[in-house]
Amino acid sequence: MRIQLALRNLYISQAIILAFLVFAYFIWFPHSFSKLGGFSETALMLIFVDLVLGPLLVLIVYKEGKKFLRFDINVLLAIQLFAFAFGAYSLFLKHPAYVVFTVDRFTLANVSQLYPQQPWLTQFKSSFFSSPQFVVAKSPSNTKERNALMFNVLLKGEPDINERPELFEPLAQHVDAVFAKSIPLDLLFQNNKTKEKFTAFYKLYGGKASDYAYFPLVGNNKKDMIWVFDRITTKPVGIIDSDPWLVAKK
């Protein structure tokens, strides 16, 4: 009976966590954002707590005929549920609500980073089930407001424009200006290892180098990559695991 109870806990936990992680991976972290946004660490924590620690504690605590056994099991389930809720909420805070273009790059703007934080739901006009939105951060057109923003960022440590939803505009309204900032093709193939990655990318998605636009994508785990867009559809195609700054410097 003890093993059956532990296995039942394992199967139910496995189904719940698998469903949640599939949702988080495809809705909250699409376009390979999981490599840049801290998805793996939190997912592993969830898997360990709910798929390993939970059933293991059931095996340890369960004893046939034990007094208050039902209470002990319910406490363990409550702890397991709390751990899942905490991990799910942590992943929610880490997921990018916006992918923001500023100057010459895209940056992931997590829910927990955005300023001001409290009214983010009304500002985003999105929900718990929304995927990241692609936007452009525009500096205030008013000189006084722009100078005040720069002063507050530099001297007061307030968030920069890529973390201020009130300054965001849809990427679709600025596609031509954004694509004009694409990394020049003559800089992309300076390194043989990088060239191999691009060759593999073209084999996978088809087309030639000039069919795409290339941008640095700044992650939240100190790892940056190259984000590739289709110039015809203006939609993101994929991410190339290569240092965009090494390419740009050359």
What pLDDT, on a 0 to 100 scale, did the predictor assign at position 120? 45
pTM score of the predicted model: 0.80
Q: What is the C-alpha separation between 185 and 188, in angstroms, rounded?
A: 5
- Percentage of residues in the chain with pLDDT exceeding 90? 24
- What is the per-residue pLDDT across 91-148, written as a single tens digit (0 to 9) for each? 888 888 899 999 899 999 888 877 544 444 455 555 678 889 899 998 888 888 878 8
- Exposure b/e, 127-149, CB count within 10 A at least 16 = b: eeeebbbbbbbeebeeeeeeeeb
Q: What is the mean pLDDT of residues 27-31?
A: 90
What pLDDT, on a 0 to 100 scale, did the predictor assign at position 87? 87
- Exposure b/e, 61-90, CB count within 10 A at least 16 = b: bbeeeeeeeeebbeebbeebeebbeebbeb
- What is the per-residue pLDDT across 199-241, written as a single tens digit (0 to 9) for each? 899 999 998 999 999 999 988 766 789 999 999 999 999 998 8
Q: What is the mean pLDDT of residues 1-7?
A: 71
Confidence of residue 247 (pLDDT cuts 50, 70, 90): low
